[in-house]
Amino acid sequence: MEILIKIFGEGKDLNSLQMSCRALVIYLIALLLIRIAGRRTFGKKTAFDNTIAIMLGAVLSRAIVGASPFLPTVIGSLVLVLLHRAIAWYSMYNKKFEHLVKGKSQPLYQNGKMNKENMKRGLMSEDDLRGDIRLKGQTNSLEDLDEIYIETTGEVSLIKKKK
């Protein structure tokens, strides 16, 4: 036990080697937790998924610097990851819950008209929308598009008119 304390230290008074050893172990634990959380956690970039990434970083960093006890910090992180996974799983089967937790895509342009209300909710100006049209649609004209949505990730998706 004394050798572990020598390598990893205890409390907040850690030297560089002890903090480096803790960082290495936390890195490996974080990789494991990310695998448990699932692929979508860091792939989708939704507010729901970003929340777990931010919280994991904040909580696990406390174990590296010795601000919180090591084992309870890791266990707390595991609980966060399992909760995130459970919420994601439940939301697959309950659309109302999914929309509450993750939100849902909103139309910004349909039937030849911009939906100003949804644009306001998405904090998007007409210039922002036109910029996305140019970047993603390779066009400067709404005439080429059938629909435009703001997705749960904040990304804009375009549906081109069929020719």
Q: What is the DSSP letter of 143?
A: G
Strand order across the beta sheet in which 106-110 lies = 113-114, 106-110, 145-150, 156-160
- pLDDT at position 99, please? 93
- pLDDT at position 110, please? 94
- pLDDT at position 44, please? 67
Q: Give φ, ψ of 147 to 5 degrees.
A: -145, 155
49 and 40 Cβ atoms separated by less than 8 Å: yes
- pLDDT at position 2, please? 84
- pLDDT at position 123, please? 92
Domain ranges of the chain: 2-100, 105-160
18 and 7 Cβ atoms separated by less than 8 Å: yes
Q: At what angle do helices 16-37 and 70-93 cross, to 10 degrees?
A: 20
CATH 3.50.50.60 applies to domain 105-160: no
Q: Which residues of the chain have pLDDT under 50?
A: none
- pLDDT at position 10, please? 83
